[in-house]
Structure 1
Amino acid sequence: MKPDAEGKPQGFSLRSRFKSFGYAFSGLGLLLKAEHNAWIHFAATISTIAVSFALGISVSDWRWIVLAIGLVWSAEAFNTAIEGLCDIVSPGFDERIRVVKDVAAGGVLVFAAAAALIGVLTLGPYFLVLLDL
């Protein structure tokens, strides 16, 4: 709970919740605007959703697709935030910061690879049916 100007905890309000959503959507907009890798994730997201609709996948299969997409976007957002914070804290080159950035980027790679595997395992059987295999 955030304290007010006097240090007292503020209570729950719908207005502050809506503001929080606004900040979150703003952050996603900034992510899409500034990060080239987010464009790749966006293209993969749109393609995966379109193919999933075209194949008529089941609701239970949609759960996997949505989870995979959400995890990749979350990882990319965290990676971008970590990189931005690192650039503020250490504008010049620092080997320790390079390691932090590389590890964060590696986390995105792990999620993206897992999402691709989920896509193959989830959508693959539908493609096999189309190919009559």
Structure 2
Amino acid sequence: MKKKKFTRSLMFSIRGIVHGITSERNVKIQLIIGLLIISFSIYMETPKIEFMLIIFSIFLVLTMEIINTSIERLVDKIHPGFDKDYEIIKDLMAGAVLLTALLAIIIGVLILFEPITSLFS
């Protein structure tokens, strides 16, 4: 019984991730950028701990984007028209995604700046 419950939960989770990737432009863009950065990191043989930070940052951005999308859709369902309070909720979530993306960029630059510059020198 528990195995079936876990399998169903896993299927729902995968369905949610696939839906986020296929229906949300920002998730697609961030996923493509993330895969490029992961590929570059592998090519440059980035040390394991730094590679883990890069992977963590990418997953964090994607997770925040999916949470943001979920909250936006919930707000739109609850209140389809414009409402200042609901707009603030959406803006707060968008701000959280932006902060997470900025963190990922900072981590990426700190880790990959030197390997990138060494390619061109």
| TM-score interval for Structure 1 and Structure 2 normalised by the shorter chain | over 0.9
Runs ≥4 in structure 1, deviation > 3 angstroms? 128-132
CA distance in 2, matches of 1:123, 1:75: 23
Structure 2 counterpart of 1:124: 113
**Percent sequence identity over aligned pairs:** 30
SS in 2 for 1:114: helix
Structure 2 counterpart of 1:7: none
CA distance in 1, matches of 2:118, 2:49: 18
Hey, which of these two has a bigger chunk of helix by percent?
A: 2
Shift in Å at residue 15 of structure 1?
A: 1.2
- Unmatched tracts of structure 2, length 5 or more: none
Structure 2 counterpart of 1:43: 32
Structure 2 counterpart of 1:19: 8
> TM-score scaled by structure 1?
0.85
C-alpha RMSD over aligned residues: 1.3
**Paired residue total:** 121
Structure 1 counterpart of 2:62: 73
> TM-score scaled by structure 2?
0.93
- Unmatched tracts of structure 1, length 5 or more: 1-11
Structure 2 counterpart of 1:58: 47
CA distance in 2, matches of 1:87, 1:52: 39
